[in-house]
Chains A and B, each alone.
Chain A
Amino acid sequence: MSAHRILRHRDIPNIASLETYRANGGFEGFRKAVAGMQPGDVLNEVKLSGLRGRGGAGFPAGVKWSFLPNNLWPHYVVANADESEPGTFKDREILESNPFQFLEGLMIASYAVQAHDSYVYLRGEFWQIAKLLDGKIAELEQAGLLGEKLFGTEYSLRLHTHLGAGAYICGEETALLESIEGFRGQPRLRPPFPAVYGLFGKPTVINNVETLANVPGIIANGSAWFREQGTEKSPGVKVFSLSGCVNKPGNYELPLGTTFRELIFNYGGGLPEGRNIKAIMPAGASSSLITADDRALDTPMDYESVAAIGSTLGSASVIVLDDSVNIAWMVNKTVEFFKHESCGKCTPCREGTYWMSHITERIVKGEAGKEDIDLLNSVARNMQGKCLCALGEFSTMAVVTGIEQFRADFEKLQRS
């Protein structure tokens, strides 16, 4: 396999040290941008690369950056390091083991939109990572890579970490902004969008950790280099978090467009002896379930192809379910998660997740009848399209697709 582009610490073990990172081309992209490129040219190169957001929605990063109006200042960039989707553990590895590449990406993004203060929002459990980043930021200040008049130009930049305190909803970008501003992490009504009214009411870019970690390579080596991997519409490599019923769970950096079969069987070592694959959840607990037939297994993992089989790639947290797993049990687990994490701001989500959890609990305990399966289905369908943010919608995905594809699993647990 070719050298890693994001998980570079696997090839260069000591890359978390500034010296090693710089000896391997680190901060060349940032220097090139600040000392030799107009902000608009940096933005354009990222646009040309076709880099899509790695946090879930797959929105083109360069296009997002270009939405910031030039008559409203200051601008902010916020890195989303909340990583809380069940099955997702890629940002954590990047932050722990290749932190400078992420920070450099954040710095280049800041230059591109001319932000002078940028923030990293970390989930509260990443306490030690926040300490680590604080140390790395201090090193960059000492090395003259952060601070005033960088590379002899007029550009100045400071980075700050902000630690959350345990709330999945803070990964949703507007809840995240509320949380930095010192409020409960509850989503804002949109419009206005963060590009215009973001952090402290100012134009703001929010990008995922992995998205930003892709940026230094694009600036240092050009967008054509970035496009060498992946597909036309989903260019580049992606870090896939593989978990569940596989022999070798872990993060795998592979070109977008790699098939599920390759990830699960070639890289992930397949399933334990005697087990067969039953279903795949490609986007963590928020997934629409995929029945793991041959067609699904041979589907390339890029944004378009996964959508074409009725699911979403999301943040590419691939959870594998084998034939020992009852789908109703799985649905109960995901619904429990969303009930716990619903911020309570809107009624359909607050009440809906409560009822779904109540019903699935009864189903797995063998206390429910056929009418309860239909009730569960109708509660989920009634929530769809009525929630203020995507969490409410996410909570219904496994329920609806689970009943659709594996109704027998629910009926099996019915009271007799």
Chain B
Amino acid sequence: MNQLLQKYPQEIQAVLARYPADRKRSAVMPLLHLAQQEPGYITKQAMLEIAEILEMPVTDIDSIVGFYTLFHEQAEGRYHVQVCTDLPCALRGADEFLRQLCENIGVKVGETTPDGMVTIEEVKCLAGCHRAPMFQVQGDGDISYHENQTVESAAALIQDLRNRKEAA
């Protein structure tokens, strides 16, 4: 049984309709985004199901998941807090911001809080350089930007994320 197809029949139809009928595999990224929404990462099962829907080799899907940084191959925190430390942000104190934030929360870059809720990551430019320090939060099928942050505002937001129970 193809669970993805069962769960999102309309969404999948709408995605497929965007591309020429003989170019189904164009839908692979939209379907991966869809598959990631709930579990927060791409399960092996989802890859098999997408391969079936799009009639493409599952090994190709695996390599696509590996290529793009927003697709996650394993379960990490429910929320990825991704702080930009690229050059323009770094010129406005992003490296120090990230260091203090990690200290405040008690995890290192790449680690997840013990409750499994938040993974802290360091990322490249997010097109928000004029409002550094800034980060994005990926999780629950959404990506939101948080700009002009202080260590206090970021720590408060992370606490808020950790207190969430149900998916928003």
Across-interface contacts of A244 in B (CB, < 8 A)? 87-88, 91-92, 129
How many residue pairs at the A-B interface have CB separations less than 8 Å?
133
The chain A residue sitting closest to B69, CB to CB, is A166
B44 contacts A by Cβ under 8 Å: no
CA separation between A371 and B145, bound complex, in Å?
Answer: 43
In contact, B88 and A319 (Cβ under 8 angstroms)? yes
Q: Is B99 an interface residue (CB 8 A)?
A: no
The reply on A136 being an interface residue by CB < 8 A is: no
Which chain A residue has the least Cβ–Cβ distance from B65? A165
Say how far A196's CB is from chain B's closest CB, in angstroms. Answer: 18
Taking a contact as CB atoms under 8 Å apart, the answer to whether A182 and B54 are in contact is yes
Say yes or no: is B9 at the interface (Cβ < 8 Å to chain A). no
Instruction: Determine whether the beta carbon of B29 is less than 8 Å from that of A164.
Output: yes
A251 and B130 contact, Cβ closer than 8 Å, known pairs A162-B30, A163-B29, A319-B91: yes
Q: CA separation between A162 and B33, bound complex, in Å?
A: 11
Q: Does B27 contact A (CB under 8 A)?
A: yes
Residues facing B in A160-188 (CB within 8 A) are 160, 162-168, 179-185
Q: Is B58 an interface residue (CB 8 A)?
A: no
Of the listed stretches B17-25, B111-119, B159-167, name the one at the interface; the rest are far from the partner chain.
B17-25
What are 29 A-B residue pairs whose CB atoms fall within 8 Å in the complex? A87-B88, A87-B125, A88-B125, A89-B127, A89-B128, A124-B33, A125-B136, A160-B18, A164-B29, A165-B69, A165-B71, A166-B68, A167-B68, A181-B23, A182-B25, A182-B27, A183-B60, A183-B64, A184-B64, A200-B20, A241-B130, A243-B129, A244-B87, A249-B88, A285-B87, A319-B88, A319-B91, A333-B86, A337-B86
A-B complex: 7 closest residue pairs judged by Cβ atoms: A182-B25, A165-B68, A166-B69, A249-B130, A166-B70, A86-B125, A127-B143
Beyond A84-B125, A127-B142, A165-B29, 11 extra complex contacts between A and B, CB < 8 Å: A86-B87, A86-B125, A86-B129, A89-B130, A125-B143, A163-B30, A179-B29, A181-B26, A249-B88, A249-B92, A321-B91
